[in-house]
Structure formats: C-alpha cells, structure tokens
Structure 1
Amino acid sequence: MSTSTATADTFGSPAPVLSFSPVVLAVPGRPVDLQARVSAPATGTGLPVILLSHGHGPSNNLSSLNGYAPLANFWAAHGFVVVQPTHLTSRTLSHLVADAPGAPFFWRSRAEDMTHILDRLDVIENAVPQLAGRIDHTKVAIAGHSLGGFTAGLLLGARLTDPDNGEEANLIEPRIKAGVLLAAPGRGDVLNGPMADQLPIFRTIDFSTMTTPTLVVAGDKDDSRHFTDMGPDWHADPYTLGPSPKTLLTLFDAGHALGGIPGYDAAETTDESPERVAAVGRLTAAYLRTQLHPGDNAWQTARAALATDPDPVGRVEAK
C-alpha cells in the first residue's frame, strides 16, 4: 500500500470546503487593513485553527491570501479552519507600503498579523457565513512556508536580535500550541550568499528558545545558494537546533516549493509533484491533529505508513 493511500485512510472522506475572503480587520498603525482568507469544512464543530503564513516568492498573488490553495483546501477539507492573512511583504501591496516602516520584509509586522488575528478570532468567526460557533479557540496551530516559516518560528518561540535597536525580540504566542515549518530558513552564521546582507534578521535567529512542538518539513534538494552554501541541511536547522519536542520530515527529491504547495500549476515550482503536495497535506494534517487532540493517533498511523511504504515520499525523525 502506498503512503498516500495509507495516510488518506486516517482521515476518511474530505468535506466540502467553504472559502471566504477578504475578512478585513482594521489595525491601528498598520499602513493598510489586514485582509485574510478563511477556509473551513462545511460541516463539523469544535474545529481547530491553522494560521498560514505565506512566503515571499516571485509571484504577484501566491504570496497573499490567494496562495497556498493546495494546502489550505486539504486542511479545511479535513477538519481545520485555515486563516491566511496577506502580510505587508506581499507584492499585491508593494505600491502601498514601499516606504512604510519595516519595509521590505516586515519581519515584526508579519508575526504581529497572527497575534491580531487571534485577538479578534471571534470577529473573524462571526464574519464568515456558516462558521459562527464552530471554532475551538483553544486549539490553534501555525504553519508557514519559506519566509512564512521564519514568521511561524518566531511565534513558536525562536528569537532574534532586532537590527534597529540591538535588543532581543521575543514574539512567542502562547495561544499557538503547535507549528509546521515548511522549507524555513536555518541558522544565520552560515549565510554567505548574495541575499544574506538583505536580511540581517536571519543572521541572529536563535532556535534554542523555540519550545513549542513543531514539525519541520525540508526538501533534500532544497539548496538555497542565494543564502548559503550549506546545502539542503540548512532548512533542517529549526529541528537540529531547536529543543524537543521537535519532528523532522525530510522529503525526497523535493525543492523549495515542496512539490508545489504555493499554488496549483505554479510556474515557479521547480519540483512539481501533485503526489508530493498531497503527501505534505496529509502528513502535516496528521501531525497537527495529534498535537491539538491528545489521544488522536493520526500522526502515529501516518508515520507507520511512511515507514512501511516501499517507495516512501520521505523519512521522519523526532526528538
């Protein structure tokens, strides 16, 4: 039995998905309103929440509330409410925020977006048709891809030195109970590529304080030479350097898009594989379901299927 079939059996049939956007939140001091897409299953109550932080890719719209449909749709179809903000880094906003404080990477604002969402989760829930009363506000996870993985790491407890004032920045969000880092950046002391000087915040990242349970997903062909010559292992650093409990999923033959998670049929995907994307959706959902619902064996079942698959999509290790 293949990994995909065995892991799919953990979840059963997908539910129809309701997707609503934009939900608009006015945030004092933010140069534009915070907009988000909310995707949820059409049925069910006590639904856990996944906050999804987009990356900083070359597309105009994938790095916004309009991206990451392959993951958002799968997670929502299998029992999660997915909230996707458009961060100020999005190219859809570049003409509005180019001169705003924190430009162009808005590292602090990106993390604060998620805190604003949690502060007003009741407002969001009531703004989305047919969602009111169906969310479990105590079961919240975060996921992020690439720069979004960096954002998620800060909310999970990683720290850095603020380049503007030299002080340690601690943005941990205690309402977030688990995380998934997808092709996230690694340690800063190995940065020697052409992009390194543009992101000084990467140089001081400290994963030793990232105490929240986290699944780190890395592709074994994700060689980010524009940042470092360390090779694909760089993206495993949040696992390697983070304290337990941490889990690492290494995907075989996967590049930075992990098969195409930023969007369906995206031209920027160098390793397009619908099967890999489906596996990422299933494995991450299984991990988060077990983390947010103690006693649920979805993750153990998914790991067992992966370990016995004759042609596995990747491997898992944990500490």
Structure 2
Amino acid sequence: MSSSPLNQRIVAVKPITVPAPDRSGDLQVKVTAPLSGQNLPVIVFSHGNAWSLDGYEPLVDRWAAAGFVVVQPTHLDSRRNGIGWDDPRFATIWRVRIADLHAVLDGLDNILVQAGGLETRVDRERIAIVGHSWGAQTVGALLGARVLDADGVPGEDFSHAAVSAGALIAATGAGDTLTPFAVEHLPFMRPDYSTMTTPALVIAGGKDQSQLSTRGPEWFTDAYHLSPSPKSLLAIAEGEHTLGGIAGEMVAETTDEDPARAALVADAISAYLHDAFKLNDAAWTDLNNAAAASDGTWSIASK
C-alpha cells in the first residue's frame, strides 16, 4: 500500500531559533528534508501535548522521504518546559501554540537558510500544516476554525494566508461534552469548524476514546462533518489516539502499537497533499481504491 520512497536519503537540522519576542522562552524548530530535489512542498507540524521537535519521526521521516520539507516547532507545553496544569501560563498556551505556527510561517525564509540552503529548493506556494491531538486543534485555527467562548460566541480568526492545505490527526471534537476536568483546565477545547474552509484531511481512530470528552470515538470526526468542503476523512477502525505509534516507536503512550498503521497515516497525508497541491494524484487515487477494498479496516470519505 505504501508508495513512499523510503530509500531516499534525508537530513535533519536542529535546533533553529525562530524570533518570537513576546514568547516565554525561545521558539525552536527542527527541519527535516530530502537531500535532493527542487520545488519541494512544505509541512509545518504541530505536536500533541507535552511533545517536542524530537517526536513523531514515524511521520516526519516518511514525509521527508516523500519529498517534503518538514518544520517542527517545540511548543510551550512540551514536557521539557515543565509547565503544568496549575501554572498561570497554561491558560493561554493554546494561543501561544497558534502564535508559534504564525512565527514559523512568517519566518520560513530565515529558517530555510539556517537549515542549509533550503531556501532555493522550496516551493513557497505549496505550504501545508499538520497536527496531532492538541496540535490538530492548533492547526485547525490556522485553517479557519475558531474557538467558542463560554457563551458559544466564536473567537478571533487565526487563519494564515500562506497555508493552502492541511491535515488534522485525532482533532478535538465540538459540542458541550467536555469532562469536568477538561472544562476546568482546557476550556479552549471548543472548536467551531463551520469557518474552517481550507482543504484538509481529517484522520480519526475508531477506538480513540478521549478522557476529555463524554462522547465516543466519533468525537474525533467532527472536524470533517462540521466543516465546509473540500474535506476528506480517513477513518481507521482499530486506531487509538496514537494511531499505531505516530509519536515514536514504542513510546509509553502508544496503546495500539502497529508500525503499518502509523505508516498508513503518514502516507495518506503525503498522498492527500500531493493531490491537493496538484503535484500528483496517483497515490491519492491508489489509496482511495485500496480503502474501498479494505473490508472496513479503514475507509476514506470526501466531500
């Protein structure tokens, strides 16, 4: 099923510091890219809670091998920063996360220079953002989603003009179904997807039961069902929150370790973005055909 050229040599450069003057602590990123190739599309990736630029190699390495330049910031909630639920900074970290992605996109040229001359090899008209879990909600904001306040009023527009496509992996669902813990500590987990107009692929696991919502795994499909087209949904029946181990091989939080499942997630995003960027639709077509023959193990819907 996978068509990623995994024999392609890649290189990673870290850490690169990105100007973010109003931030508490430096914003640092890692850049992973193929050693050869021109007019390369870009993925900016937002990690899940507590992770860093050093995670998600099962995704990032496959994307780079497939011809993408991948930029990974470390957000303020990374466990290496030691900011807990009760830290006064935690209440606004969701905004800092969004600001991080804006800083990366606005400072992309300088990042590419520091990554070893990549500025001459990148196609700046083909930039995508991808995120997992909290990172998916962060990415959704740049794709046009907004955050509802306590009265259900949508907040400000954080979309970014440079972004032309995206992917949301295990994205926060909508509705007033947060658990008491989430209401107290994570009240910003109330996305409004009705304004998320940018093309995107939503990926959800059929066994992903969030401890932050009273709903079942279908909560993670809201980003698809409640947003305007064009959107696609990859549903993986046996997938849990880390979808086979996308954050890393054998990491402690992986409850459904399956390298093939993690590879499916990576390659589906590569195929979708190549199609969305009008570079090559063959891999996305093949993936849709494979999904139709998968006996319900995984499926793809589009609108």
Task: Please classify the TM superposition score into its range, dividing by the shorter chain length.
Answer: over 0.9
The one-letter code of the counterpart of 2:243 is L
- Aligned counterpart in structure 1 of residue 256 of structure 2, from 271, 280, 287: 271
Q: Displacement, 1:130?
A: 4.5
Q: 1:220-261 CA distances to partner (integer Å, 9 max, x unpaired)?
A: 00011x222210000000011111111111012110001100
- Aligned counterpart in structure 2 of residue 109 of structure 1, from 88, 96, 99: 96
Q: Distance in 1 between matches of 2:245 and 2:18?
A: 30
- Give the aligned partner of residue 317 of structure 1: 301
Alpha-carbon spacing, 1:12–1:21, altered in 2? closer, same or farther (3 Å): closer
Residues 77 and 83 in structure 2, CA contact (< 8 A), matched pair in contact too: no
Query: What's the RMSD between the two structures over aligned residues?
Result: 2.2
**Number of residues paired by the alignment?**
302
- Aligned counterpart in structure 2 of residue 280 of structure 1, from 262, 265, 274: 265
Q: Secondary structure at the match of 1:169?
A: coil
- Are positions 1:148 and 2:148 aligned together? no
Alpha-carbon spacing, 1:285–1:112, altered in 2? closer, same or farther (3 Å): same
- Give the aligned partner of residue 40 of structure 2: 47
Gaps of 5+ in 1: 58-62
- Give the aligned partner of residue 167 of structure 2: 180
Q: 1:70-104 CA distances to partner (integer Å, 9 max, x unpaired)?
A: 100000011000000001111111269x856x425
Q: 1:270-313 CA distances to partner (integer Å, 9 max, x unpaired)?
A: 00001101111111110011111255332112211222246x64
Alpha-carbon spacing, 1:293–1:187, altered in 2? closer, same or farther (3 Å): same
- Are positions 1:189 and 2:176 aligned together? yes
Q: Distance in 2 between matches of 1:125 and 1:27?
A: 17
TM-score (norm 2): 0.93
- Give the aligned partner of residue 60 of structure 1: none
Gaps of 5+ in 2: none
Residues 70 and 277 in structure 1, CA contact (< 8 A), matched pair in contact too: yes
Q: Distance in 2 between matches of 1:56 and 1:128?
A: 26
Q: Distance in 1 between matches of 2:149 and 2:172?
A: 17
- Give the aligned partner of residue 208 of structure 2: 222
Q: Displacement, 1:13?
A: 5.1
Q: Distance in 1 between matches of 2:203 and 2:26?
A: 31
Q: Which is bigger in relative contact order (C-alpha 8 A, separation at least 6)?
A: 1
Q: Displacement, 1:197?
A: 2.4
Q: Displacement, 1:189?
A: 1.6
Q: How does 1:158-169 map to 2 (within 5 A)?
A: 158-161=145-148, 168-169=155-156
Q: 1:158-196 CA distances to partner (integer Å, 9 max, x unpaired)?
A: 011457xx7722101121111110011101322235323
- Give the aligned partner of residue 212 of structure 1: 198
- Aligned counterpart in structure 1 of residue 80 of structure 2, from 82, 89, 92: 92
- Aligned counterpart in structure 2 of residue 38 of structure 1, from 31, 34, 41: 31
- Are positions 1:127 and 2:114 aligned together? yes
- Give the aligned partner of residue 68 of structure 1: 56
- Are positions 1:252 and 2:240 aligned together? no
TM-score (norm 1): 0.89
The one-letter code of the counterpart of 2:249 is Y
- Give the aligned partner of residue 70 of structure 2: 82
- Give the aligned partner of residue 137 of structure 1: 124
Residues 143 and 160 in structure 2, CA contact (< 8 A), matched pair in contact too: yes
Q: Distance in 1 between matches of 2:154 and 2:87?
A: 23
Residues 274 and 280 in structure 2, CA contact (< 8 A), matched pair in contact too: no
The one-letter code of the counterpart of 2:257 is E
Q: Secondary structure at the match of 1:195?
A: helix
Q: Distance in 1 between matches of 2:7 and 2:41?
A: 16
Q: Displacement, 1:105?
A: 5.7
Alpha-carbon spacing, 1:288–1:167, altered in 2? closer, same or farther (3 Å): closer
User: Which deviates more from structure 2 when the two are superposed, residues 48-57 or residues 103-112?
Assistant: 103-112
The one-letter code of the counterpart of 1:240 is H
